[in-house]
Amino acid sequence: MKMLHKIAIAVLLSAALASVLARYIAPAGYEQQFRDEAQARPSIHHLLGTDDLGRDRFARVVYGMRVSLFLAPLAALLSTILAAAVGGIAGFCGGWVERVVMGATDLFLALPWLFLLITVRAVLPLNLSPVASVIITFALLGMLGWAPAARVICAGARQALQSDFVWSARARGCGGLRLIRVHLLPSLRPALAAQFFLSIPVFIIAEANLGALGLGVSEPLPSLGGLVCELQDFVMLRPEPWRLAPLVVLIVVIGAFQVLLSKQEVQA
């Protein structure tokens, strides 16, 4: 278990390092079209061959990891903060506040978030750069993904309020913000960390889903989701198995997060 944990961290660190150093590792820019070498097989010049427009597949995978590895954790952080705020308030206040807030959370959970996301994207300004558009997409994912975690945090906060150390703190006159900051939040930290790690692969896959609908990251910026979307014409995969590279990377990255998540869950 410990070994697996180390491997997962090593995998994620290597992937993060590779994406940060993409400019030096990749043989070409992710958008550069070598039109005379389109659909080339893997070679020294193009390690994973080239795509339909002659773009280097390896470069696109390495740059694509940037989007997934950096923006998904940021979106996860945003959704965890929102979940902590909403769930924490509900659990701490209890009574009618909890019922109202949790009712609103249930309503939020029932929303068809994919359609909501499509609708919001449809009204965005058209001249946004691909980078701005992908940041907005992940911000939306973060803002829409807090509800399941909020329920867990609310339950955790309610449980913590009944614990002996909180009774003891209250008996000594500790209350309000100090009680939350000094006693409640530290006790909720494992649950929050678990929610954070749980959200990362969810957001990576959500982006992949949007990519499959053609509504993910806009061209020419690559993302793992968008690259996986290119596998839709899978009749071509038997003769060109190297096209599976983005899917393999996606599985390995999500697998590594899941390994870390298991540890966090145990701690929580």
Partner 1 sequence: MRARALLISLVLACTCTVFAQNGGGQNGGELRFCLRSDPKTFNPLLVNDDASETVRYLTAGFLLRVNRLTQQPEPDLAISWKILNQGKSIRFKLRPDVRYSDGTPFSAVDVAYTMQRLLDGSVHSATSDAFRSGEGKLVTRVLSPTLIELNFPAPVANLAYLFDFVPILSSTSPQKEMAALGPFFVAEHKAGAFVLLKRNPNYWKKDPQGRQLPYLDSVRLEVEQNPDIEAMRYERGEIDLINTVSPAIYEKLSSVNASSVRDAGPSTDVEEVWFNQVPSAPIPAYKKQWFASTAFRHAISEAINREDMARLVFRGHAVPAAGNVPQSNKFWFNANLQPQAYDTSGALRRLQSDGFRMENQQLRDKNGNPVEFSIVTNAGNRSREQMATMIQQDLKKIGIKVNVVTLDFNSLLERMTQTFNYEACLLGTVNGDLDPSSQMTMWLSSGEDHIWNPKEKAPATAWEAEIDKQMRIQASTLDLHKRKAAWDQVQKIAWEQAPVIYLVNKDSLVAISPQIKNAQPSPFRPQAYWNIENLMLARR
Q: Which residues bind partner 1 (CB under 8 A)?
A: 31, 33, 35, 38, 52-54, 118, 121-122, 126-130, 213-215, 218-220, 230, 232-236, 239
DSSP E strand stretches across the chain? none
35: DSSP letter: G
Please say which residue, 194 or 206, places its beta carbon nearer to partner 1: 206
The answer to whether 121 touches 215, Cβ cutoff 8 Å, is yes
Please say which residue, 38 or 77, places its beta carbon nearer to partner 1: 38
CA–CA gap between residue 87 and residue 24 (Å, rounded)? 44
Least Å from the CB of residue 122 to partner 1: 4
CA–CA gap between residue 91 and residue 94 (Å, rounded)? 5
Please say which residue, 17 or 128, places its beta carbon nearer to partner 1: 128
Please say which residue, 92 or 138, places its beta carbon nearer to partner 1: 138
Least Å from the CB of residue 142 to partner 1: 22
Least Å from the CB of residue 125 to partner 1: 9
CA–CA gap between residue 226 and residue 217 (Å, rounded)? 7
Least Å from the CB of residue 254 to partner 1: 24
